[in-house]
Structure 1
Amino acid sequence: MPPTVTVEREDAVATLTLRRPEARNALDLALKEELLGALREIAADPEVRAVVLAGAGPAFCVGQDLREHVQSLESGAWATQRTVEQHYNPLAQTLTTMPQPVVAAVHGACVGAGLGIALACDLRVFADDAVLGTAFGGVGLTFDTGLSATLTWAVGAARARELVLLGETFDAASAVAWGVAGRVVPADDVLPTAQELAARLAAGPPLAHAASKRLVAAATTRPLSKTLAAEAAEQDALGRSADHREAVEAFLAHRKPSFDGR
């Protein structure tokens, strides 16, 4: 069987591509496991400083593969597979906690768990033809892949309720206007723009990027006093780093810094 996720590397940028175009990158068991494995491998690779996540074919990702899902319901496998716990939760956790910034290149349909994956990334580039939606209510289910948190943080509780309860799709321009951070570009420019952003991130300070991701991920779940303590600890560690010294020296010398991740 050909791989359902491919990884291409250019310098310090890794591009992960979902490759079930005939199914609009619906998440079957193989794709979920391959994606999670690839993300975990990249997260542990210090040579990778930024990641692009894209989808092959006409869509970014339409969420759970319902054909496989029906088979699992009929066989009773759904009760034992526990795919939310085994796949969707770890995917959201890995994307939000891996040290490298992740840029989602979103085109075509991006719904259900596909939307959850896109919102778990750090940055997003949307094609002007992107169609977004929660889609869960249409099959009698609710949020997964962390979407109840990430969508609510992005657009607010009132609109998040509307989007999941009514299940209406929306376009990229609306998503950005509502607070889903990202930029909208012509469809042909989605992947190149995402890769340009990733290259820019890869040239930046990897230690600071990782610290910033940790602080943002925890900011809404702990009191201000603990957030302030965490900021102090992160800044203290970064202040002792060679990267910080290099950046200060480069600033004073009017040159671009070169970050080594030390």
Structure 2
Amino acid sequence: MTQPLLFEQKGPVAHLTLNRPDVGNAIDVPLARALMETAIRCDEDDTIRCVTLRGAGRCFCVGGDIAGFSQAGNALPGLLKELTAYVHMAVSRFARMPKPLLTIVNGAAAGAGMSLSLLGDIVLMAASARLTPAYGGVGLSPDGGLSWVLPRLVGLRRAQEIMLGNRAIEAREAEAIGLVTRAVADADLADESAAMVARLAAAATGAAGRTRVLLRDSFDTSLERHLEAESRAMADTAKSAEAQEGVAAFLAKRKPVFHALEGEL
């Protein structure tokens, strides 16, 4: 049986690939469950310093499996509760794991696929790709954290227009309004992604993990509480071998070596 989600670890990098290309990597229960299980695995495995997520074939992910929704009939509400339980646990684990996530939007990302695409700390998007909320088009409200992430990236007013108008966003506009990190020519996407992976995997993972927390929590706290959180996080990271290496490298006027990369990334 074909695995709905491919996992490959190369050195310190975990490469995840949504693997239902014949249906645009639409999310059904097996794929949702695999996402949850793999997110937990990435969170728990200390040998993993960076995670990438992309789609097999021409699409990143077209969202939920609408054909499966139709087949569920009156059982659809129950199916959606099961599906979102897995997807939301995956989103939470990916968002809170102490290592960066790179999403590589190689093609169309719609619905929950758009939610997953925007989850990355770094989001590289092929110039030919597009993002579409899609939920309103099938009479459903959003999931996967899209209604939480989108207004934080582009502001409430623009998020309202995009989601309520179910408006498709081309790659160049997505970059211009801050939805993605960078729009990349299709032919350059693989090389750009590899370069970014190498940079993230070679960085100080402990500091990156703390930085992820500080950035995420900055919207929900006062300045004074955030300053205290910054102070405590910095003091904690100072105890690490990575900090010791960073300081030593700075004084020696050399590049720090936080991790000896093994094999091809």
What TM-score, normalized to structure 2? Answer: 0.93
What CA RMSD, in Å, does the superposition of the two structures yield over aligned residues? 1.6
Distance 1:80 1:186 in 2: 38
> SS at the partner of 2:7?
strand
Residue in structure 2 matched with residue 52 of structure 1 by the alignment: 52
Native 8 Å contact 2:242 2:258 kept in 1: yes
Deviations 1:125-165 (A, max 9, x none): 11010111111111111221111121111111111000011
Distance 2:195 2:46 in 1: 20
> SS at the partner of 2:220?
coil
Distance 1:233 1:71 in 2: 52
Letter matched to residue 93 of structure 2: T
Native 8 Å contact 2:28 2:83 kept in 1: no
Sequence identity percentage: 34
Residue in structure 1 matched with residue 68 of structure 2 by the alignment: 68
Distance 1:181 1:171 in 2: 11
Residue in structure 2 matched with residue 6 of structure 1 by the alignment: 6
Distance 1:232 1:84, change over 3 A: farther
> SS at the partner of 2:194?
helix
Deviation at 1:108, TM superposition (A): 1.7
Letter matched to residue 121 of structure 2: D
Query: Is residue 154 from structure 1 mapped to residue 137 from structure 2 by the alignment?
Result: no
Native 8 Å contact 1:104 1:124 kept in 2: yes
Distance 2:5 2:166 in 1: 28
Letter matched to residue 154 of structure 1: L
Distance 2:201 2:183 in 1: 22
Deviations 1:13-63 (A, max 9, x none): 111001100000000111111121112101111111011101000100001
Native 8 Å contact 2:125 2:180 kept in 1: no
Distance 2:180 2:229 in 1: 25
Letter matched to residue 235 of structure 1: M
Distance 1:34 1:215 in 2: 28
Stretches (4+) displaced over 4 A? none
Q: How many residues align?
A: 260
Deviation at 1:78, TM superposition (A): 2.6
Native 8 Å contact 1:50 1:199 kept in 2: no
Residue in structure 1 matched with residue 263 of structure 2 by the alignment: none
Bigger mean CA deviation after superposition, 83-92 or 44-53: 83-92
Residue in structure 1 matched with residue 171 of structure 2 by the alignment: 172
Distance 1:181 1:230 in 2: 27
Deviation at 1:260, TM superposition (A): 5.4
Native 8 Å contact 2:84 2:144 kept in 1: no
Query: Is residue 117 from structure 1 mapped to residue 116 from structure 2 by the alignment?
Result: yes
Distance 1:22 1:260 in 2: 38
* Alignment gaps of 5+ in structure 2: 261-265
